[in-house]
Amino acid sequence: MSSASNRHATVLNSGPSNTGSLPLKSSKHYAQAEDTTFTALSSSVDGDASKKKIASISGGLSETMDETPSVRTSSALRSTLPTASPTSSRYWDRDTSRSSLISSSASHADENKKTAVNDEETEGLCGLKNIGNTCFMNSVIQCLSHTNELTKFLRNYNATKSPTSKDQQILYEFSKLIKEMWTNNVHSVTPMELKRSFSAKHRMYSDYNQQDAQEFLRFFLDSLHCALNTGVKGEALKIDDNLSDNKKAELTWEWYSRLENSLIRDLFVGQLKSTLRCTTCGNTSVTFDPFWDLSVPLPSSSRCKLEACLDLFIREEVLDGDEMPTCSKCQTRRKCTKSFTIQRFPKYLVIHLKRFSETRWSKLSNIVEFPTGERELNMGPYGANANSNMYFSLYAISNHMGSTAGGHYVAICKHPVSKKWHEFNDNLVSESLSEHHLVSSSAYILFYERA
Ligand SMILES: [Zn+2]
């Protein structure tokens, strides 16, 4: 464990079970070892994580380290034929619709202007062919493709002709794909080369089994980050315990940023504050850890608001019995409370709705009502510093339809220019959807942009 995440262990030693410390390890995350598919593990935050041992971070991922990956991939998650989309009747043939729009223009000047506007509004409306259960990948790529700053960067990225690492190969293929997807009149591309380069690094993806979209997203972002990382390994983090929480947070972030320095970190990584409080003497200790997404639990009600999930994520938990940490003031193991708040919000906030059980044998189909409009999600109440608003706008959703036994992924994304929503079902792109179609029991990963 690195010093950053180990600070709870030193301040409030949690004993052999180590449940008192945040299960977010920094050490492994920084490793750029090839062929390890687990580098992204440590960078996620799991709402229920404190209930588990460190080894079981983030449900789905830890399973891949078990002896049972074949069970999981071969039967539990195998995709059947793509299920019919609820909006399938809305798909259109883009080849025919474009020409009619342009031919109706009155003058040449008008025509050119209209074409330019029309071009900008249709760029990126590009499907991705399914090359064998790859809808999980297609869905995530569409969400990333609609992440403005990332796509802007990739469209201008001059990749080296001969990438030196597997991660750089992935970045190279991804930027190539994004350039194609954002070329006018390209309506569908085949992400074969990207799949191949990704599988070369992450071998569990080398077959054609259905995979989990969120897990893929973490590995994928981790690869992009590693390919772009200019960070340097420095000394261990040492922070004076007498500093204010905000100062500690700032120094921890600076330290982390020196180590992990890439556009991907700039865009997607936030900072989580966890607070342990001794119920006997009131002594508190805080730790600050980076997060790449928030994995939020679902309440038992069949319908709830996203805020209810976020409340569950940050709610105070009691660590008692075997889980009791050692209080540094009391010098003995004490019942403690533990809670999370968000110290630093990322530019792009990824919220993962934990629909799948730890074992992946069951899936929750609750409807979570999430804010869909501009500046409609206020994350302020979850921030470490009270009384501030922090507005986010939804721009993409990765939907999982079906059960654990057979399912299908699609993406619903907001076009950056037209601001219209479209569904991307592998190679099919729907015509624009109304905002009422966005909330459904299929919503699995939500992508928000800070307003
Ligand atoms: Zn105490």
Q: Is the dihedral of CA 320, 322, 325, 331 positive or negative?
A: positive
Only one residue has tokens 């004993």, namely 15
Are the CB atoms for 65 and 59 separated by under 8 Å?
no
| CA nearest neighbour of 228 among 163, 276, 155 | 163
pTM of the model: 0.77
| CA 20 / ligand 1 centre spacing (Å) | 13
| In 186-344, alpha helices (H) | 192-201, 213-228, 245-259, 263-268, 306-314
| CA 332 / ligand 1 centre spacing (Å) | 8
Q: How far is CA 400 from CA 58, 137, 148, in A?
A: 18, 12, 23
Instruction: Round to whole Å and give the CA distance between 176 and 428.
Output: 20
Catalytic residues: 135, 408
| CA 53 / ligand 1 centre spacing (Å) | 23
DSSP 165-218: SHHHHHHHHHHHHHHHHTSTT--EE--HHHHHHHHHH-GGGSS-----HHHHHH
| CA 344 / ligand 1 centre spacing (Å) | 28
Neighbours of 369 (CB within 10 A): 14
Residue 426 sits at φ, ψ, to 5 deg, of 50, -120
Instruction: Round to whole Å and give the CA distance between 82 and 89.
Output: 15
Are the CB atoms for 222 and 171 separated by under 8 Å?
no
| CA 13 / ligand 1 centre spacing (Å) | 11
**pLDDT number for residue 79:** 35
Are the CB atoms for 112 and 382 separated by under 8 Å?
no
Judging by beta carbons within 10 Å of its beta carbon (0-12, 13-18, 19+), is residue 391 exposed, middle or buried? middle
Q: What is the dihedral of CA 357, 360, 361, 364, to 10 degrees?
A: 40
| CA 30 / ligand 1 centre spacing (Å) | 33
pLDDT < 70 stretches in the chain: 1-115, 117, 160-161, 360
**pLDDT number for residue 111:** 64
| CA nearest neighbour of 365 among 440, 446, 425 | 440
Instruction: Round to whole Å and give the CA distance between 361 and 345.
Output: 33
DSSP 82-137: PPPPTTGGGB--HHHHHHHHHHT-SSHHHHHHHHHHHHHHHTT--EE--SSS-HHH
| CA 326 / ligand 1 centre spacing (Å) | 8
| CA 296 / ligand 1 centre spacing (Å) | 30
**pLDDT number for residue 107:** 56
What is the separation of C-alpha 161 from the centre of its chain, rounded to a whole number of angstroms? 29
Q: Where are the beta strands (DSSP E) in 370-441?
A: 377-378, 391-402, 407-414, 421-425, 428-429
Q: Where are the beta strands (DSSP E) in 297-404?
A: 303-305, 317-319, 326-327, 332-333, 336-344, 348-353, 367-369, 377-378, 391-402
Measure CA of the first residue to CA of the last residue in the chain; give whole Å: 35
Q: What long-range pairs does 236-239 form, CB within 8 A, spacing at least 24?
A: 236/2, 236/3, 237/2, 237/3, 237/4, 238/3, 239/7
Are the CB atoms for 100 and 161 separated by under 8 Å?
no
Query: Which residues have CB less than 5 Å away from ligand 1 (the ion)?
Result: 278, 280-281, 283, 327, 329-330, 334
Which tokens go with 28?
Answer: 């492994």
Instruction: Round to whole Å and give the CA distance between 209 and 307.
Output: 34
| CA 327 / ligand 1 centre spacing (Å) | 5
Judging by beta carbons within 10 Å of its beta carbon (0-12, 13-18, 19+), is residue 107 exposed, middle or buried? exposed
Q: Parallel, antiparallel, or unpaired: how do β-strands 284-291 and 270-278 relate?
A: antiparallel
Q: Which amino acid is it at 256? A: Y
Partners of 449 in the β-ladder: 348, 393
**pLDDT number for residue 78:** 34
Instruction: Round to whole Å and give the CA distance between 26 and 5.
Output: 7
**pLDDT number for residue 160:** 67
